[in-house]
């Protein structure tokens, strides 16, 4: 029955699963593929040039009726799928927030799937819940949060923020959980966040029925941190109008520039007005493991709830997000459907993690975190983060030293934002005069203290130039960057977060950026 192609998998057996020995044989092939992938990853393009029609031609096929040999499936995966991914594990992946799957996490995912336990209840898989308790306490220490806080592993920061704000809404004492928000008179509930906060905050207020109109975006300062004076002003004005300030979302590591809101000052405002403080540390949280970062940023204990993403900065394969809430019971009050009098989990040390979120069936996420933290140790985790921060700093220095580029913002994390502002555009009259001054003032990086009036044409020229620059760099498919727009100005972002990224990748990146500038000017017709 076995053709030479089948790895011993009985292709015609229509019942049951593969025999364990066949699983092992096929698994060895998969591991060999993974090994090849990582051995060559430096030499393959980081992204694909294939368009949707090409991918459809490559991948679309009639629904398979007959069993197929696994080797053929694996070969198709290697030849048709993997080359057309954007490789987040590539050393030249610098886009968004660069993330990684480290080896112990990859292997843990395999075992997790093999065990396939459901971590919804303690009883449904005791050691899975017990291990979740252990890693939650470890992760709290890593980022600097209360070790005994309520916590839960969820599948993304966006969901976690929704859960936290749901807990805040329930803690406001309006019994929305039971009575709902319609057909009765409720105060207008207000949520505040910096204008640089993540779109997941907007989605949370949509889903919670608070309404986008009641998400108050507070302007940032010249380094894109929330203006606490303006925050307090907005809250005070709302109170005078009879609104109810519900929560503030502060950010440690804004999406655009990696800025950190002044947490202590925000916490003080929250205390004064009885607001819930949720901290979105999805990106920045674990860098608190680096002493110099922790000195600058502080710990996060002042926050009522906090979200941090191991799948961003702790080398963990997607998906793994941690949500903590130091107001014990608040998450459960929002989401548990077990009446209070039946709640025994705290007393005997057990916990039913289904009570902390909307999710019932839950992956055994704790295992991959347990393997990664133990495999690297705190020292190994810290050393890797320090390397990333040093690499980012070396890039920032190059940007600062180049006459045609300006750095934008400042972050304690390994994120470097910059834009091209050619030296020959600065200070003179004529097209794009004034753009440089405006860019400098807007981003707080160059000397200009007051924003020069900038003609729309100048902003447009600057933006076209930088968009063309990014296009050029990414078109090579040798490296992959992303962009943001801050204060109306197109800005390139380099997120250094990959375990394989070294100084030579940073050196080559900067050389490519600088060399692409003249061509980008031509592309943009400037
Ligand atoms: C990445 C990120 C998010 C969203 O995280 P997901 O896990 O992708 O949902 C939210 N906030 C910030 C600050 C982030 O960096």
pLDDT at 91: 97
Q: Are 498 and 100 in contact (CB under 8 A)?
A: yes
Whose Cα sits closest to atom 15 in ligand 1?
Answer: 283
141 and 56 both lie in a single domain: no
In a domain, 317, yes or no: yes
Other beta carbons less than 10 A from residue 15's beta carbon? 4
Tens of pLDDT, residue by residue over 96-122, are 998 889 999 999 999 999 999 999 999
Q: Of ligand 1's atoms, which has the minimum distance to the CA of residue 156?
A: 7
Burial 282-321 (b: 16+ CB within 10 A, else e): bbbbbbbbbeebeeebbebebbbbbbbbbbbbbbbbbbbb
251 and 351 both lie in a single domain: yes
59 and 190 both lie in a single domain: no
In a domain, 105, yes or no: no
Mutation test of ligand 1: which of 88, 157, 193 has the most ligand atoms closer than 8 Å to its C-beta? 157
Among 330, 363, 396, the domain boundary falls at 363
124 and 182 both lie in a single domain: yes
DSSP 327: S
Average pLDDT over residues 372-384: 98
Tens of pLDDT, residue by residue over 14-54, are 899 999 999 999 999 999 999 999 999 999 999 999 999 99
Tens of pLDDT, residue by residue over 358-368, are 999 999 999 99
Which pLDDT band, with edges at 50, 70 and 90, does 349 fall under? Answer: confident
- The residue that leads in pLDDT, 53 or 11, is 53
313 and 448 both lie in a single domain: no
Rounded-to-integer distance, Cα 427 and Cα 439, Å: 12
Average pLDDT over residues 249-256: 97
pLDDT of 289 higher than 90: yes
Which range, of 3-17, 46-60, 433-447, averages the lowest pLDDT? 433-447
Burial 413-447 (b: 16+ CB within 10 A, else e): bbbbbbbbbbeebbeeeeebbbbbbbbbbbbbbbe
Rounded-to-integer distance, Cα 196 and Cα 377, Å: 33
Q: Of ligand 1's atoms, which has the minimum distance to the CA of residue 321?
A: 7
Q: Residue 34 belongs to a domain with what CATH number? A: 1.20.1340.10
Residue 153 tokens, joined: 């592993």
pLDDT at 220: 97
Among 46, 71, 100, the domain boundary falls at 100
Q: Of ligand 1's atoms, which has the minimum distance to the CA of residue 254?
A: 13
In a domain, 112, yes or no: no
231 and 312 both lie in a single domain: yes
Give me ligand 1 centre to Cα 156, in Å.
Answer: 7
pLDDT of 440 higher than 80: no
pLDDT at 435: 52
Mean per-residue pLDDT over the chain, rounded: 92
In a domain, 234, yes or no: yes
- The dihedral built from the CA positions of residue 77, 79, 81 and 83, taken in this order, carries a sign that is positive
Give me ligand 1 centre to Cα 306, in Å.
Answer: 12
152 and 69 both lie in a single domain: no
Average pLDDT over residues 408-415: 97
Q: Residue 403 belongs to a domain with what CATH number? A: 3.90.1150.10
227 and 309 both lie in a single domain: yes
pLDDT of 3 higher than 50: no
Whose Cα sits closest to atom 5 in ligand 1?
Answer: 157
All residues at 6 or more sequence positions from 41 whose CB lies less than 8 Å from its CB, including other chains:
87, 89, 90, 91, 500
Which range, of 204-213, 272-281, 395-404, 435-444, averages the lowest pLDDT? 435-444
pLDDT of 148 higher than 50: yes
pLDDT at 345: 52
pLDDT of 1 higher than 50: no
Residue 207 tokens, joined: 């889903």
In a domain, 108, yes or no: no
Which pLDDT band, with edges at 50, 70 and 90, does 347 fall under? Answer: low
Rounded-to-integer distance, Cα 414 and Cα 410, Å: 10
pLDDT of 212 higher than 80: yes
All residues at 6 or more sequence positions from 46 whose CB lies less than 8 Å from its CB, including other chains:
86, 87, 90, 92, 93, 477, 478, 479, 480
Which pLDDT band, with edges at 50, 70 and 90, does 336 fall under? Answer: confident
With 0-12 CB in 10 A as exposed, 13-18 as middle and 19+ as buried, what is 269? buried
273 and 166 both lie in a single domain: yes
97 close to ligand 1 (CB < 6 Angstrom): yes
Rounded-to-integer distance, Cα 156 and Cα 218, Å: 25
In a domain, 471, yes or no: yes
Q: Of ligand 1's atoms, which has the minimum distance to the CA of residue 158?
A: 9
Average pLDDT over residues 177-190: 96
Rounded-to-integer distance, Cα 213 and Cα 243, Å: 12
387 and 246 both lie in a single domain: no
200 close to ligand 1 (CB < 6 Angstrom): yes
Residue 505: its H or E element: helix 503-523
Give the count of domains, the chain.
3
Domain span at residue 256? 118-363
Among 363, 386, 421, the domain boundary falls at 363
In a domain, 86, yes or no: yes
Which range, of 143-157, 252-266, 329-343, averages the lowest pLDDT? 329-343
pLDDT of 338 higher than 80: no
pLDDT of 205 higher than 60: yes
Q: Residue 161 belongs to a domain with what CATH number? A: 3.40.640.10
pLDDT of 447 higher than 50: no
501 and 396 both lie in a single domain: yes
pLDDT at 337: 83
348 and 406 both lie in a single domain: no
Tens of pLDDT, residue by residue over 456-475, are 778 999 999 999 999 999 99
Give me ligand 1 centre to Cα 321, in Å.
Answer: 9
In a domain, 276, yes or no: yes
Give me ligand 1 centre to Cα 198, in Å.
Answer: 7
Residue 425 tokens, joined: 């555009």
Whose Cα sits closest to atom 14 in ligand 1?
Answer: 282
Which pLDDT band, with edges at 50, 70 and 90, does 150 fall under? Answer: very high
């Amino acid at each position: 029955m076995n053709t030479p192609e089948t790895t011993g998998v009985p292709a015609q057996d229509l019942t049951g699963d593969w025999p364990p020995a066949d699983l092992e044989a096929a698994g060895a092939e998969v591991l060999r593929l993974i090994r090849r992938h990582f051995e060559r990853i430096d030499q393959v393009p980081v992204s694909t040039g294939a368009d949707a029609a090409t991918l459809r031609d490559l991948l679309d096929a009639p629904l398979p009726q007959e069993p197929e040999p696994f080797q053929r499936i694996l070969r198709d995966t290697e030849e048709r799928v993997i080359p057309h991914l954007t490789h987040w594990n590539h050393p030249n992946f610098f886009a968004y927030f660069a993330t990684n799957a480290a080896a112990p996490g990859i292997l843990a995912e395999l075992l997790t799937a093999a065990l396939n336990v459901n971590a919804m209840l303690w009883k449904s898989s005791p050691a899975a819940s017990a291990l979740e308790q252990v890693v939650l306490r470890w992760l709290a220490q890593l980022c600097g949060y209360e070790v005994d806080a309520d916590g839960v592993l969820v599948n993304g920061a966006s969901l976690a923020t929704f859960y936290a704000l749901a807990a805040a809404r329930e803690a406001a004492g309006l019994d929305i959980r039971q009575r709902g928000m319609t057909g009765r008179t409720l105060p207008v509930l207000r949520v505040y966040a910096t204008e640089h906060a993540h779109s997941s905050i907007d989605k949370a207020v949509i889903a919670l029925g608070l309404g986008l109109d009641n998400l108050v975006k507070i302007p940032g300062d010249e380094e894109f941190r929330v203006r606490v004076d303006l925050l307090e002003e907005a809250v005070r004005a709302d109170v005078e109008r009879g609104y109810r300030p519900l929560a503030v979302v502060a950010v440690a590591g804004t999406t655009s520039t990696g800025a950190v809101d002044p947490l202590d000052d925000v916490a003080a405002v929250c205390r004064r007005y009885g607001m819930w403080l949720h901290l979105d540390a999805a990106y920045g949280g674990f860098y608190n493991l680096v002493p110099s970062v922790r000195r600058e940023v502080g710990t996060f204990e002042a926050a009522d709830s906090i979200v941090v993403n191991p799948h961003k900065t702790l080398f963990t394969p997607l998906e793994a997000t941690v949500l903590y809430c130091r107001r014990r019971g608040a998450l459960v009050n929002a989401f548990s459907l077990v009446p209070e009098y039946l709640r025994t989990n705290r007393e005997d040390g057990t916990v039913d993690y289904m009570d902390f979120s909307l999710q019932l069936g839950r992956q055994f996420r704790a295992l991959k975190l347990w393997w990664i933290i133990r495999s690297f140790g705190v020292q190994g985790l810290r050393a890797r983060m320090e390397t990333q921060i040093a690499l980012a700093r070396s890039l920032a220095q190059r940007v600062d030293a180049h006459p045609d580029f300006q750095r934008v913002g400042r972050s304690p994390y390994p994120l470097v934002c910059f834009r091209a502002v050619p030296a020959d555009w600065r200070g003179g009259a004529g097209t794009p005069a004034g753009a440089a001054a405006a860019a400098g003032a807007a981003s707080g990086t160059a000397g200009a203290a007051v924003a020069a009036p900038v003609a729309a044409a100048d902003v447009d020229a600057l933006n076209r130039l930088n968009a063309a620059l990014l296009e050029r760099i990414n078109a090579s498919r040798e490296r992959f960057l992303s962009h943001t727009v801050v204060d109306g100005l197109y800005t390139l972002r380099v997120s250094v977060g990959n375990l394989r990224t070294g100084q030579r990748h940073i050196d080559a990146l900067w050389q490519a950026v600088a060399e692409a500038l003249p061509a980008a000017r031509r592309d943009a017709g400037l």
